[in-house]
Each structure stands twice: as structure tokens, then as C-alpha cells.
A and B are shown apart, each in its own frame.
Chain A
Amino acid sequence: MKSTIYTHLRVVLILLLSVTYTWAQETQVNGTIYDETGQPLPGATVLVKGTTTGTTSDLDGKYTISSPPDGVLVFSFIGYTPVEKTVGNQSVLDVNLIPDLADLEEVVVVGYGTAKKSQLTGAISSVGSKEIQELPITDARQALQGRAAGVDVTQPGSKPGAAPQVRIRGRRSFNASNEPLYVIDGIPVVGGINDINPQDITSMEVLKDASATAIYGSRGSNGVVLITTKRGTKGKTVVSFDAYYGINKELGRIDVFNGPEFAEYKRESRRAGEDYPEGPATPEADAAIFEPVELESIALGRSTDYPAGLTRNGSIQSYQVGISGGSDKTTFFVSANYFKDEGVIINQDFTRYTFRANIDHQINDKIKFGTSTLVSYSERNGENFNPIGGALAENPLGVPYDEEGNMIFLPTSDGLRTNPFAEIVPGAQMDLTKNYRIFNSIFAQWDIAPGLSYRLVFGPDFTISRNGRFTGSQTNARRGGDATGSIDEEFRFNYTLENILSYTKTFNEKHNLNITALQSVQQDNLEESQISVLGIPDESQLFHRLGDASQITGANTNLVQWSLLSFMGRVNYDIDNKYLFTATLRADGSSRFGENNRFSYFPSVALGWNIAKENFLANSQSIEQLKLRVSYGSIGNQAIDPYQTQALLGRTTYAYDNTPAFGYRPNTIGNPDLRWETSTTFNVGLDFAILKSRIFGSLEYYITNTSDLLAPQPLPNSIGFGGYITNIGETQNRGVELTLSTLNIEKGDFVWSTDLVFNKNTEEIISLPNGDDISAGRFIGQPLTVFYDLKKIGIWQLDEEDKAKSFGSVPGEIKIEDYNQDGAINSEDRQFLGSAVPDFAMGITNRFSYKGFDFSFFVYGRFGYMIRSQFHTGNNTLAGRYNNLDVNYWTPTNPTNDYPRPNVNQESAKYASSMEYFDGTFIKIRNINFGYNFSPDAAKKIGLTGLRIYSSIQQPFIFANYRSEHKGIDPEVYLDGEDGTGIGGGAVNANVSPAVTSFTFGINAKF
């Protein structure tokens, strides 16, 4: 709520006033001051209002003070909202202080340093350990969803161990990566942060505007997420134990046809193909199209629910022991964690073991050093293999087991539809990824002279990752063929070495100056190897003895290296904390670019004005903070893979008779002139705290123009190349972000507060060298990726037969809009359908507390965007062969416009892609949390210093038209698609796992 300076001013003011005060008769008041968790708060200030009489609480939080009976006591502590109490006739006054959420003295981490919140000039969102820890999450990024303005986090489905996709302020670049830079304890990370245990994190800061990110130069154009892990503090050693256990349940069921529905669907598909008489079903007609097992099922009313057989109630659990503490010279934080997420699909789970040791040691009064070390090991099953697809497609009229209970490998005569239960027989399928990570941030700091210090940071990062895949003979993939296996290995070594010099000085008690200079190198070295075989002699060998296989079907290795050399300088200057100025310049050189374009410079400037400190507001009772920030700067993006400036050959295989004849042919057109992509951002922000900080937050507006976009440019294939990477065009992102926290009710022990985060980002292509580019799907004025296809406007109805015929269709088939009105449907009728960029997204957290109880719920929604559901591609073929989503299809007696008539003479419906576009808007209840804090006394009784128990429900509801009307699973999609899976931007993966809701119970105990 207020800075110390402000507090001091007030004390002086009080002093002046008190001179004329007449002393009344005093009474002795004593009591204990507690913090929000009920722990005694030592060092808190107690002041008789309007006097200089004051004291501080002792180590046990106790105080004694004398005050006139009509006196008012003011209790305060840095970081906490002051409380005023009238003495009256009480002699004991206990007080609970609650943290001031808008605490302006709070120190936040910025790139290469820290700053007080009140001194920030850039746009930064913070998420603290409280938010991170109230969710049972696998990946720290999940905690950012709906909690940090301007940060768009998506995670489709529920595959355990899957990483969410994060986009900060939209996408700028056409090229693959719009991924922000993650910096853990000062080290820019390459290769994912999934190994980081969220419970070790104390805060995450998201740097958004150019002023904040420019110090990361070419790395920062997609925003920067700074992750800081917990460190020890001097004092008593605290041992904490945190655990939760929960049940994962499938949220709703995927609705495919049951037996009778499937039978009717199959009949209808034959009616359309004129293989089944119109009108009601007859046993004779059924006999002609159904096989014996199907007829038997129809007669018995029998139906097999295959999807149910592949799902289970999974569990999610985490156990963590942390020890922190320290002496005058050494502080430490050590933790060990076991985390396991067992998915609702039987073969999918993720287990992670992490160990962290963060140690700081002061060698002498000038030199200190420290380390943050993470050792992590994880196992992930079922990343690449999902048996649910086969179950959704399986004919429900078949039976999976014979009378003796033996599995029937082919439940029906359909040779492609093997028993989905065969996939989950132990040993039939194996898809295990093991990941080993050692991540270090080691530093040494030398305080050369007052204000001047030198810091050396070294961050070696080792990752070994191995995926083993085994597919046995009795599976759908092999269908009785020989077993296959493969091993994919990755070995990565990355290091960062940084020299940082910083100087801080205050002149004339008013002029504060801080200068930071940096030199940094980073090098990445990735080695990959892969082997795949066919014909594993004994299936029990899995993928552990591939050399015994009868055939090697693939073998390869690869090496990818890049390096980056950077220099950076930053000046922070402020006058009396009132007028703030920051200027930054970074120079980056990247090995990925040609010699001519290797180095580039990224400058930024920012101004801040603490209006609330101006005289005209200084005495305002209602405005605690009002700060205007403006920043402007440019940052680069080296968003190309290494080696793209070069013309390279691609390998081919051939043979003369049986003599291998491997070849090389032109594969990429080099582009030595590739240069940095540059994003220029203008940001204006307003930070405010009003009404005694009952309402505080910030409002941001920004415009980012990105030019020289690195983009794949499709080329007509007749030149021998399908495209190349080039610098092209310009995009713009502009948007508004609001972070708002309100203290709605604070009455006695009851507190209700709300956090709201809102962002609206408009992503737009501003210019392209040759105007709209249909081949690349880029259109000026539209987002970076859009859906451009034929548009379904209904189903041809019986009374439209002639018109349908003129378009080459018949009633019951999809009616496509004849966009160019030329009387025919062809690619000229493709049109802009929508994009996966939401109009806006928001998250609201409501928190209630009463005495030891607390309750919160978190709602998140994305509004106004389109998705393409590849989940529907395979599961909604309407071909009358495989099972299908239970959609409302057309029949002569059900003239719907929803879905076309099933037809046996098709593998999928004509114009099937037009039925894959859906409104993606959703609202999710992400989390409901209910907890109880035991009072210190109660905790003490069982030998603890603190105890909290809680229970939470994750994602109990998803409200979305895509789910309720179209049988989809989860409309949350990756905006940029998935690498290497063929899943494009905004597309629902065909392989998605069911949405999950989890019920967890947890405990936090301190010793």
C-alpha cells in the first residue's frame, strides 16, 4: 500500500502534530500480533495514532504499550496492510495482519537483476508460489494460465507429462517458434522446462514489453519467463512436508454409437448405398448386411463399450520434503520430490523424481558464491501411443472375449479392426520416454567497491532423453506381423557463461543510478541417434535387444549445434523514485545467420512516472499508487533452425538390383541473406492502487510490429522445391491487458478477494510482399494462421434434389456454399472461415477466508475462436464401417442440417473437411480449493510449527459448444500446432486423450 518513504513522511507529520497534544490518562495494553497464517509476527510496529508513542513486537509477536482509553492503535509491518484498533476498555488486543497484496516494496526479479515493484518501468506479470502451489500441476507453465495477463497458455486433453504451449501477447512469427524464452535462476533454458518441479518455484515473472525483454535481445521477442527457485534464509532450519493425492476421472464420456445405434447407422449407410431397403429394419435385410456376431448382438440387445475398457480412474500424487535454513555465512534450500500422474487412459502415465540443492555461501564480506542444482529423472508412458482411437472405432456389436474368456483378436470379420483390448495386454505395446536432466546455475559475486559488483554465472545443462518403442505382434499396428521396436536417443549439452558488472549509486539522496553491463556466450550441442527394427524374435525382449531383430528398418544419427554471443548494457536512473528512466541495448551474434547478418542491435527505452508521489496526490487518502509507464524498443528473433542459410542436399535411397544406391539431391534452397526478424513494441501501462489498496492492478496497452518476418515461403513445386525460409512482410499485435485485484469484503475474520486477468490481443498480418498468399494461408488483415476452406452451409434436403444434382451431390450430402457463385464447387469456393486466435481470454480467481478456513475457485475462459477438429476426421467418417461419434446424421426421415447421411460407398463423407470446423469458445472451472490452517497452538500439540490441509477439484466443468453439441473432448488447442505430428495450428489432435477432472487431498506441514 505505501512505500516506506511515505510511512516516514507520515511519522514526521505525526511528530509535528503531537507537539500540541494534551496527554490523557494512559492504560496498559498488550497482545500478540499474528501473520495471515496465524504465526506470531516479530518486529511489527505498534503506534498510538496521532502520537510518537510506539513499540515493536518481540520474537513471539508480543507487545506492550500504554495508550489513552480513547486511543487508536496502528499495527503495521512491511508488506502487510496496517490495521487500526480502538483501545476502549480492553487490556488485551490480539491482531492478525494480512499481507498487502499490492505491496510496492516487494522485490521482483527482472532480467539480470531485481527491482522494487514501484521502480519497474516495463510490463511484467508475476505469479507467486501461492498460485503455483494451489494447483496440482506437472509443469510450472500451467500455473500461468489465466493468472498472468497477456500470457496465453493452452494444453489440450489430458496426456500425463504433456507440455503446455505458451504464447505471450500473441504470435509474431510465421516460423515455428513463438515460444517464449524461459530463464531459470538466470540461465536461459534450451530444451524445455518440464523437468522443473513446480513446488520448488518461488516466483515466475513474465516480461512482456520491449523494455523488459530487450536485455534478452534476440531471445526475448516472444517474451521472457523468469523462474526463480526457492532459496534458504538465515535462522531456524525449517523442514517442510507437502503432499497431495488425487483421483483422475474422465470428465464425461466420449459419445460413440452403442450397439443398437450402430446397427441402425450401418443400415442407413447401406440404404444410402442401395444395399438395404428403405423403411424399417427387417431380419432378412439385416441378415444380408450383418455378420453372425453382429446379428447375435442385435438379437440379444448386446453392446460392447470398448472405450470404457481402456479407461480407468487414474491418480495424481506428489510428495515433497524440503529443508531450508542457514547460518550467517551459508544458506540452503534442499528438496526432494516424487510426482506421479497416472492418466485415465490405461497406458498413459508420467513419473518424475527431482532433487534440488540451492546453496549460497559468503566467503568473506566481498565474495560470495552459490549454486542452484536440479537433478531430475522422469518416465513417461504412452506419449506416442494412444489406444483410445481404436476403441472409438471398434464395432460395438462385436464381442471381445469368447465363452472361455479368451481374447478374440478379430472381434468381427473386419480385418483392420483388431481387438482394442489387445493393445493393453501387458507387453503388447511399450512407449516409454526416460529423461535425465542436470541443470545448474552456478554463480560467484565479488563486491569490488561500494555499489560496484561483478558477477560470474555459469549454467551447464545436461539432458539425456530416450524413447523406447515396442509394438508386439498381436496389436492393430502389426496385426499378426512380426514385432517392431525402436530407440530414439537425444543427448544435449548446453552451457551459458555470463559476466555481469553492475554499479549502483545514489547522488544527492535523490538521483538513483544503476548500470548493468553483460557479456554472455551460449552454446548448444544436440546429438541424436535412432534405430528401428522389425522382427524381434522374442517379444519379452521389448526394445532392449534390437540387434537380434531380423531386419533393421532405419538407423541414423544427427548433430545440431548453434552458438550465440551477446553484449548488453542497461542504465536505470530515477529522480527521487518519482521519475524513472531505463535504457537498454543488446547486441547479439548468432551462428544461425550468414556472415553478413550475424550481429544485430536491439535498443529500448522506458519512462516511468510515479504520479502518486507528486505533491498534488501525496496527501490523497484514496490513491496509494498511480504510475504511468511508457516503453519503446525493438528485439530480434532468430527463429530459424540452424543450417537454414545453406543450400543442402537431401538423402535418398535406391538400389541397383540389391546393391544399395544411396543418393543426394537438392533439398533446400539456401538463403545466405536471411536476417534477424525484428519486433518493435510500444507499451503504455498504468499501475494503480486505490482505496487503501482494496483495488489495485495494472492496465497495459501495446502495439508490436514485427518486420522482416522469418517465414517459410511456399514455392510452386515444379521448380523442384516446395518452399524456402525468407524474411517477408510485417505483422502486428496490439492489445489490452488488465490485471485487477480487489479486496471485496474484509469484515472481522472474513475476507473475500478477487483476482481478475483479462487479455485481448489482435494479431494481424500488415503486409506481405505480394499481397494475400493463398498457398501459405496468409491474408492481410487476418491473424497469422487462419482456416481457409470450403464452408458447409447445411445438408442437401429432399426437396432440393435438382439443385443438389447440379452441384454433383444428392440429398443427404453436405451442402457447400458456392462462394463465387459459378454453379460449381471447387477450390475457388474456399473462403476464410475463422482463426484459432481468441477474441479475448480471461481468468478470475475468487478467494474467501474465515479464521483458519480458506476457499477459492478459479475460472478460465477463451472466447471467440475457431478450431479444426482432427479428432472428428477419423471418428466421424459416416462410412458405415467403423464406429462413429454419436452425431445427428441425416436420413430421409430426419432432415437435419447437422451431419450428412452415412454412406457405405465412401471412406469419409464428401467435403468431410467442412465438418471439422467448430467454435472453440469455452469456460472451464479450473480449480476449486478448500483448505484449513491449523492454529499454531493446535499444530504445536502434534509437534508441528504449521499445518494446513486442503482438498481441491481440478476442472470439474468445461462449458463448450464443441463438447455439448459435437461430441468433442476439449476445445483447448495449441495455437501453433504440434511439432512433428502434423497437427496444425488450432487443430485438435486426433489422438487426444479424454478430458480429466481430478479430486485431490493435500497436506502442508512444517516442523
Chain B
Amino acid sequence: MTIKSIIKHMKYIAIKINRWAKYTSLIVTLLGAVSCSGFLEEDVTSKIGSDYLNTPKGLNDGINAAYSTMRAWYGTERGNNLTTFGTDIYTNGADGSWKFMNTYTNQFDSQNGLVRELWDEFYRGINTCNAVIDRAPSVTGLDETVLLQRVAEAKFIRAHHYFILVQLFGPVDLQLSETILPTKEVTRTPVEAVYAAIIKDLEEAIPDLEAKAKSDNYGRATRPAAEHLLGRVYLTKATSEAGDPSDYAKAEPLLQSVIDNYGFELLPDFADVHAFGNEVNNEVIWATQYTYDPLTNMQANTNENPNFNSGNNSHLFFLMEYDVQPGMQRDTENGRPYKRYKPTDYTLNTVFADRTNDSRYKNTFVDHFLSNKPGTYNTTFDKSKETVTFAQGDTTIWLPGYNIPVAERAKYPYQVLTPELYTERVFPPLKKQKDPGRVDRTQFEGGRDYIAMRLADTYLLLAEAQFRQGKLDLATQNINMVRRRAAFPGNEAAMEIAASDLTFEFITEERARELIGEQTRWLDLKRWGILIERVKAYNPQGAPNIQDFHVLRPIPQNQIDRAEGNASAFPQNPGY
């Protein structure tokens, strides 16, 4: 008897037993049912089933969940890295493992965790929006206006996510209905179709959203927010492969409406726009909400990255290493310096060249530090003197923004950090994102709202739409709105430009002056089609490596690996 035939015989017996068991199964299950009825029922008490979304409260909670995915982009390291690194105005500082996102070396590949997290979380948000939109018709007991508004909000969020995705990745998977059954069949929808879906969503959303500057629940999407977004979508689409000559004309009335119809106003002082504690102000069109209560300041945890619950942590990345300098130690006011982003020479010398009339250099960059650790110390970077001595509150570091001869530096009783002494560790830190409201100096999770859309941006976008249509006078007027506000008091007239001064170059610089550090630059450069040339010209770290394909980011490898048909069905962007 061979082993095979033994197996065969035993298998036969086993099957026989099993068959007998199945015939008699009735008895067994009956016994089970009688003796232990309900014993094997699974009651879900600590979890919530999917049907909950069909209820009025569930639908509201669904929208809340969709908003939470905004926190995956605004105010995060990934949102900042993908828009700040590798541009003409910012390069890398000393620290961090993501420098290759600035230097464009081949380490920036499809395994990039930040790109993957963004992809995953945005698509979870999109699926949530899809669920809300699909299920809304069957929800009863909710006021019709509210129901329509919720659906409109879902469309706003869905459009927003697709807009970011299409800019970063090009063709992406366009999912417009809730995923009910598991599937691996995904495709890269052409850019044109993605834009069509975005525009359709926003157009449908606009009438049903609250026509107010601020929602009754501050933080919800409003009609002006959708108009601002759609205006920007058109501007961006115009230069994309889906571009249409009418795009600029379509953008103009939307942006104009935001300015005219809701009572927004530019704050008189540029410094107030990002002043700590002033996150809710008349210039803000829409902001991603963060709080100082850890219980409401989390992001959805994907278990992938423990830092995911990170609050608005933009306060970390733009700071210089002040905390090891003489007379200084780390404190909440000055922030936790990650020294990731260092302004380029172009930013300091060209973009912010005017420091006489324009208050924005002064109000954007930190120019001095006050001692919080008195004592006598050896100097570190400013060797014009051997030692420095500070009392509490004395100036320890001054960043004049221009070079000063050593002999003159020596006269100051503190260290003078001049441009020639800037390194990847010490450089002018950005003020905008500082968050002194954190409970302690180590706290990673910031609590400030992230201002994603504000009126100055609307003016500049409108000016850009008008400039592209040759409406130079109108464009100039709108630019001057922003510039007058940015002036030092009394210098408003000097800030104004004439229509003849308005060039494309000027717009690119004006946007940098106004919006530096606000998660727009990389997307702006891409929109203008000048990313490669600008990086080559102004970002010495990125210049040697950037190539044409870098206008798109790598599709996360696991999206490709998991797709039915892998790379043939869901191809990687070229170059990665």
C-alpha cells in the first residue's frame, strides 16, 4: 500500500464521517439552538455599524469625519513638505529625513511615506464624502436645507481632495460613489475627467452652501470658500493638459464674488493676519480647524504612523536653531526648532528686497531673540567678540537682514546674525506658523487653525486671472489692494505699482511675498509651469537633480502593487 493510497482511504473515511455529520447536523444545530439560543449571536456594543450613516445624526457625523481628513494636508509635515520643499523660495535646513523632497534625489521614490499617507487619508475622506452623498437621499428626519447643505459640503471636500491629488499626481483614480464591495480594479482617470468632476462638484455645491463669510458652525465650508476654490481650480486647469481658453474668464467672476459679496476685508495690518490668537478674522475665507484640546485635535489614526495625531505642527519646521545659542533655551514662545526649511537667497535678496515700504519682511521673519537663560557665554556664530553676557530679556541675537562689517558687529553686546553667517542651522525663522499656545515647549501638536484660504490670496488669484486675459488695469488694482495693505503706515502710495509694472514675474514674486509658508508655493510654480526652471535658478540644493518629470509626485507603490494588473493597470508616473 503506497502512502498515496493510504491517504486516499483515510480521506474517504473522513469524508464519510463528515457526510454523516452533515446529515445529522440538523439535530446538532437544533440542540444548539434550543439549549443556547442566541449564544452565538454577535452583538456589536463597542462599535458602530455602517447603517448609522443613514440616520440624520449619522449623516452629520459622516460630514464631520470628511472634514477631519483636511487635517491630513493643512498644517502637517506632509502638506508642508510637498509645497515648501523644492521650490524657489525655500530649501532645506539642517535636519530631517525628508531633505530629498527638496533636493529631488532618487531617494524621493514611490515608497515615500508622506505621499502614501496623504493618498490613503484623502481617499478615505473621498469615500466618506461618497457615502454621505450616496446615502443622503435615504436619510429621513433631517431638515431639507440642512440635508442639501451637508451634501454640498461633501462635494466641496471631495472636490478639494481631488484638486490637490490631480495637481500632485496627474491622472488619479476617480471614485465618485461609496465603495461597498472590495475591489482591486482601479484605473488612472485622465486629468480632464478629474477636473470635470471637481468643477461639477463645486458648481453643484455653491448654491446649497451658506452664503456667508462665516458658517454658523465656524469651520464648515461656505459658498465663498467654494467659489474661491473653484476660481483657483479654473486657474490651475487653464495651464494643465485639460486647459481651456475660457478657464481664466470662468475664474474671474467666482473670485470677484468672494471679494464683493460676503463682507470679507483685508486686515489693516499685515502682521495681524497670522497673529497668534487672531486665527478667526475677517480675511479668512476658510480654515482647517485645530484646537488646544487634545481630544478634538487628533487626526484619524491609521495606525501607520504614531505621529499622525499631530495637530497643526507647522510651527516646527520653519524655525532656526536658536535654543542652543548663548543666552537662549527652548521655550514655547520661540518654538521647537526643527530647522527643516531655510529661505533661499532669492527669497531674502529678491522677493523681500524692499524692506523700506513693504512691512512683509519685518512681519514675516523673526529678527531678534530675547534672553531666557541669562549668563555669560562664549559666542557661537558671531565671532566678532569672545563672550556675551545677558540678563533676562536682553537681546541675544539680532538678525538685521543685511551684512555688517565685523568691526561694527563687535560693538553690539549680543550676537549679530547677518546673511553671510546664515547656515542650515541659523537663518531667519518664519513667524507665520509659530504657536506659543502649546502647553509646553516640547508639545508637537499645535492648536492654531490652519488658514487655507484668505482674501489676499483671492485678490492675487483674481489678478492672475485678469492678467492672463490681458486685463492689466484690473489686475493691477487688485494687486495694489494687497500691496497697500502690506505697506508700512504712510508708505501705501510707494507700494502701489502701475499697470506697466505688472509682469508675470511680478505676480510670481508678489505671491511669494504675501503667501510664503502657507502651503501654496510648489503648487503655484507647477501651475505656472516654471517649477523646473525656478528650482534650477534659485534652489541650489535642488538644482542639480531636478528633472522634467518632477512636476508630478510618485504614486504610492502600494497603490500600484495592490491594483489588479499592477503597473500595467495603474502605471507609475514616469521617472520614479
Report which A residues bind B (CB closer than 8 A). Answer: 292, 413, 415, 478-482, 521, 523, 534-535, 550-555, 557-565, 567, 583, 585, 587, 589-592, 598-599, 601, 603-605, 607, 630-634, 642-643, 645-666, 669-671, 682, 684, 713-724, 726, 770, 774-775, 807-808, 824-827, 905-908, 910
B 104-120 binary contact with A (CB < 8 Å = 1; else 0): 01110111000010011
Bound-state CA distance A414–B106 (Å) is 29
Query: Which residues of A lie under 8 Å from residue B498 when comparing CB positions?
Result: none
Given contact pairs A554-B294, A826-B106, enumerate 20 new A-B contacts (beta carbons under 8 Å).
Answer: A481-B441, A521-B39, A553-B294, A561-B45, A599-B29, A632-B10, A643-B42, A646-B49, A647-B49, A654-B64, A656-B219, A663-B65, A664-B61, A664-B62, A665-B124, A666-B179, A715-B183, A718-B172, A722-B120, A775-B562
Chain A min CB distance to B297 (Å) = 7
Given known A-B contacts A657-B219, A808-B106, A587 and B28 have beta carbons under 8 A apart: yes
Bound-state CA distance A645–B50 (Å) is 12
**Are the CB atoms of B105 and A551 closer together than 8 Å?**
no
Query: Which residues of A lie under 8 Å from residue B570 when comparing CB positions?
Result: 716
Residue pairs across A and B with Cβ atoms less than 8 A apart, 21 shown, are A565-B32, A589-B32, A599-B25, A599-B28, A601-B22, A603-B15, A605-B17, A649-B49, A656-B218, A663-B65, A663-B68, A665-B66, A665-B124, A665-B127, A669-B181, A669-B182, A682-B10, A720-B179, A721-B127, A775-B561, A826-B106
Query: Which residues of B lie under 8 Å from residue A684 when comparing CB positions?
Result: 3, 6
**Are the CB atoms of B123 and A718 closer together than 8 Å?**
yes
**Are the CB atoms of B297 and A653 closer together than 8 Å?**
yes
Query: Which residues of A lie under 8 Å from residue B337 when comparing CB positions?
Result: 415
Chain A min CB distance to B435 (Å) = 14
Bound-state CA distance A560–B48 (Å) is 13
B 47-63 binary contact with A (CB < 8 Å = 1; else 0): 11110110000100111
B 1-40 binary contact with A (CB < 8 Å = 1; else 0): 0010011001101110110011001001101100010011
State whether the Cβ of B44 lies closer than 8 Å to any Cβ in chain A. yes
Bound-state CA distance A523–B36 (Å) is 12
Query: Which residues of B lie under 8 Å from residue A653 when comparing CB positions?
Result: 68, 295-300
Specify the chain B residue showing the minimal Cβ separation from A581. Answer: B13
**Are the CB atoms of B52 and A664 closer together than 8 Å?**
yes
**Are the CB atoms of B295 and A714 closer together than 8 Å?**
no
Taking a contact as CB atoms closer than 8 A, the residue among B18, B127, B302 that contacts A603 in the complex is: B18
**Are the CB atoms of A561 and B43 closer together than 8 Å?**
yes
Chain A min CB distance to B383 (Å) = 11
Specify the chain A residue showing the minimal Cβ separation from B64. Answer: A663
Residue of B28, B280, B290, B299 ringed by the most chain A CB atoms within 10 A: B28
State whether the Cβ of B323 lies closer than 8 Å to any Cβ in chain A. yes
Chain A min CB distance to B323 (Å) = 6
Bound-state CA distance A717–B121 (Å) is 9
**Are the CB atoms of A719 and B97 closer together than 8 Å?**
no
**Are the CB atoms of B557 and A827 closer together than 8 Å?**
yes
**Are the CB atoms of A648 and B48 closer together than 8 Å?**
yes
**Are the CB atoms of A480 and B378 closer together than 8 Å?**
no
Query: Which residues of A lie under 8 Å from residue B442 when comparing CB positions?
Result: 478-481
Q: What are the 6 closest A-B residue pairs judged by CB atoms, nearest first?
A: A720-B127, A663-B64, A663-B65, A481-B442, A907-B97, A632-B10
Residues of chain B in range 90-104 having any CB-CB distance to chain A below 8 Å: 95-97, 99
Taking a contact as CB atoms closer than 8 A, the residue among B105, B123, B128, B324 that contacts A719 in the complex is: B123
Given known A-B contacts A591-B42, A603-B17, A726 and B182 have beta carbons under 8 A apart: yes
Taking a contact as CB atoms closer than 8 A, the residue among A652, A718, A910 that contacts B300 in the complex is: A652
State whether the Cβ of B178 lies closer than 8 Å to any Cβ in chain A. yes
Query: Which residues of B lie under 8 Å from residue A583 when comparing CB positions?
Result: 13, 17
State whether the Cβ of B443 lies closer than 8 Å to any Cβ in chain A. yes
Query: Which residues of B lie under 8 Å from residue A562 when comparing CB positions?
Result: 42
Bound-state CA distance A268–B314 (Å) is 33
Query: Which residues of B lie under 8 Å from residue A585 when comparing CB positions?
Result: 17-18, 21
State whether the Cβ of B237 lies closer than 8 Å to any Cβ in chain A. no
Taking a contact as CB atoms closer than 8 A, the residue among B11, B53, B175, B289 that contacts A657 in the complex is: B289
Query: Which residues of A lie under 8 Å from residue B7 when comparing CB positions?
Result: 632, 682
Specify the chain A residue showing the minimal Cβ separation from B63. Answer: A663
Bound-state CA distance A807–B109 (Å) is 13
**Are the CB atoms of B44 and A648 closer together than 8 Å?**
yes
State whether the Cβ of B558 lies closer than 8 Å to any Cβ in chain A. yes
Residue of A478, A659, A715, A726 ringed by the most chain B CB atoms within 10 A: A715
State whether the Cβ of B440 lies closer than 8 Å to any Cβ in chain A. yes
**Are the CB atoms of A633 and B14 closer together than 8 Å?**
yes
Given known A-B contacts A563-B40, A663-B61, A665-B131, A716 and B440 have beta carbons under 8 A apart: no
Bound-state CA distance A718–B21 (Å) is 45
**Are the CB atoms of B45 and A603 closer together than 8 Å?**
no
State whether the Cβ of B491 lies closer than 8 Å to any Cβ in chain A. no
**Are the CB atoms of B42 and A663 closer together than 8 Å?**
no
Query: Which residues of B lie under 8 Å from residue A663 when comparing CB positions?
Result: 61-68
Taking a contact as CB atoms closer than 8 A, the residue among A292, A554, A631, A646 that contacts B44 in the complex is: A646
Specify the chain B residue showing the minimal Cβ separation from A726. Answer: B182
Specify the chain B residue showing the minimal Cβ separation from A605. Answer: B13
Query: Which residues of B lie under 8 Å from residue A589 when comparing CB positions?
Result: 29, 32, 40
**Are the CB atoms of B439 and A659 closer together than 8 Å?**
no
Residues of chain B in range 375-393 having any CB-CB distance to chain A below 8 Å: 378
Bound-state CA distance A41–B3 (Å) is 47
Bound-state CA distance A455–B237 (Å) is 78
Bound-state CA distance A78–B99 (Å) is 76
Specify the chain A residue showing the minimal Cβ separation from B569. Answer: A716
**Are the CB atoms of A808 and B105 closer together than 8 Å?**
yes
State whether the Cβ of B395 lies closer than 8 Å to any Cβ in chain A. no
Bound-state CA distance A534–B111 (Å) is 34
**Are the CB atoms of B127 and A666 closer together than 8 Å?**
yes
Bound-state CA distance A554–B218 (Å) is 25
**Are the CB atoms of B295 and A553 closer together than 8 Å?**
yes
Query: Which residues of A lie under 8 Å from residue B302 when comparing CB positions?
Result: 722
**Are the CB atoms of B106 and A632 closer together than 8 Å?**
no
B 62-90 binary contact with A (CB < 8 Å = 1; else 0): 11111111010000000000000000000
Chain B min CB distance to A713 (Å) = 7
Bound-state CA distance A565–B34 (Å) is 12
**Are the CB atoms of A670 and B294 closer together than 8 Å?**
no
Query: Which residues of B lie under 8 Å from residue A774 when comparing CB positions?
Result: 561, 566
Given known A-B contacts A585-B21, A643-B42, A663-B66, A292 and B186 have beta carbons under 8 A apart: no
Query: Which residues of A lie under 8 Å from residue B280 when comparing CB positions?
Result: 657
Residues of chain B in range 214-265 having any CB-CB distance to chain A below 8 Å: 215, 217-220
**Are the CB atoms of A655 and B440 closer together than 8 Å?**
no
State whether the Cβ of B534 lies closer than 8 Å to any Cβ in chain A. no
Specify the chain B residue showing the minimal Cβ separation from A589. Answer: B40
Query: Which residues of B lie under 8 Å from residue A523 when comparing CB positions?
Result: 39
**Are the CB atoms of B46 and A560 closer together than 8 Å?**
yes
Specify the chain B residue showing the minimal Cβ separation from A879. Answer: B97
**Are the CB atoms of A604 and B14 closer together than 8 Å?**
yes
State whether the Cβ of B343 lies closer than 8 Å to any Cβ in chain A. no
Query: Which residues of A lie under 8 Å from residue B29 when comparing CB positions?
Result: 589, 599
Bound-state CA distance A481–B527 (Å) is 42
Specify the chain A residue showing the minimal Cβ separation from B119. Answer: A717
**Are the CB atoms of A655 and B219 closer together than 8 Å?**
yes
Query: Which residues of B lie under 8 Å from residue A716 when comparing CB positions?
Result: 173, 184, 186, 558-559, 562-563, 570
Bound-state CA distance A558–B44 (Å) is 11
Chain B min CB distance to A641 (Å) = 11
Given known A-B contacts A649-B53, A718-B123, A721-B182, A665 and B65 have beta carbons under 8 A apart: yes
Residue of A535, A599, A654 ringed by the most chain B CB atoms within 10 A: A654
**Are the CB atoms of B564 and A770 closer together than 8 Å?**
yes
Query: Which residues of B lie under 8 Å from residue A415 when comparing CB positions?
Result: 321, 323-324, 330, 337
**Are the CB atoms of A587 and B182 closer together than 8 Å?**
no
Query: Which residues of B lie under 8 Å from residue A682 when comparing CB positions?
Result: 7, 10
Specify the chain B residue showing the minimal Cβ separation from A483. Answer: B440
Bound-state CA distance A495–B439 (Å) is 46
Taking a contact as CB atoms closer than 8 A, the residue among A478, A590, A910 that contacts B40 in the complex is: A590
State whether the Cβ of B412 lies closer than 8 Å to any Cβ in chain A. no
Taking a contact as CB atoms closer than 8 A, the residue among B116, B291, B378 that contacts A658 in the complex is: B291
Given known A-B contacts A649-B49, A654-B64, A670-B50, A603 and B14 have beta carbons under 8 A apart: yes
